[in-house]
Structure 1
């Protein structure tokens, strides 16, 4: 059985998707971008600013499910430019704790956003 998760404090887009779905012991969080949840304005023009906000948006959704970033086992990251990867990695390494989740990072055409990230979290335990 699955359950959709909607988070009033997370960014609200007029698009057909749920913030997350809990299926068994897993929580699948939809792609989040680096926007302020209240204004939907970009959190800044740099990859560092947008990455920090993007991860905080993921965190807001996980909190609604009773989880933290430490429950994330897989992250899928889309960046608008491959040259952003080093700066992205710095912020990512500060916000996620080792041992890090598995990750895929690709360069995608994602419009005005520098980053979009979706994650899969495992509810019963944190990474170790």
Structure 2
């Protein structure tokens, strides 16, 4: 099977040679997905706005890889502060509304660069060819 790099406008790593995600056959792994506005590259000051954008950006990455939220097997979320745990659930519930069909989730507390409050990475199993 051939590995395919997945890039999404506005979510790249700049000049670094790192794709936004990578797919081999049905397996999709993302890199870190931030709560940045892909149109302006701005990182909002508000942690909730970052979380909402992060989930929007996750959807963009999934779509670019030929995947959908239902293909996500596990989501790992990093927060800069444990008190921010509540900012995760609104986007989580929007992307994964069915309580009988949600991915596993793990939240870790860790220092993040600059003003970043949250980021995630996903592992998905996808049927079909890359779109």
Establish whether TM, by shorter chain, passes 0.5. Answer: yes
User: What value does the CA root-mean-square deviation take over the aligned residues?
Assistant: 1.7
1:30 and 1:82 map into 2 onto residues whose CA distance is: 22
1:94 and 1:20 map into 2 onto residues whose CA distance is: 22
Give SS of 1:76's match.
Answer: strand
Partner of residue 56, structure 1: 56
Shift of 1:11: 1.6
Taking the TM superposition and a 5 Å limit, the aligned residue runs for 1:19-98 are: 19-42=20-43, 44-98=44-98
Give yes or no for the alignment of 1:109 onto 2:101. no
Answer whether contact 1:35 1:50 (CA < 8 A) is retained: yes
Q: Which runs of 5+ in 1 are unaligned?
A: none
Answer whether contact 1:70 1:97 (CA < 8 A) is retained: no
Q: Which runs of 5+ in 2 are unaligned?
A: none
Shift of 1:97: 2.5
Shift of 1:60: 0.9
Answer whether contact 2:6 2:19 (CA < 8 A) is retained: yes
Give the total of aligned pairs. 123
Normalized against structure 2, the TM-score is what?
Answer: 0.84
When structure 1 is superposed on structure 2, of 92-101 and 45-54 the one drifting more is: 92-101
Partner of residue 12, structure 1: 12
Shift of 1:77: 0.5
Partner of residue 118, structure 1: 121
Normalized against structure 1, the TM-score is what?
Answer: 0.86
Give SS of 1:27's match.
Answer: strand
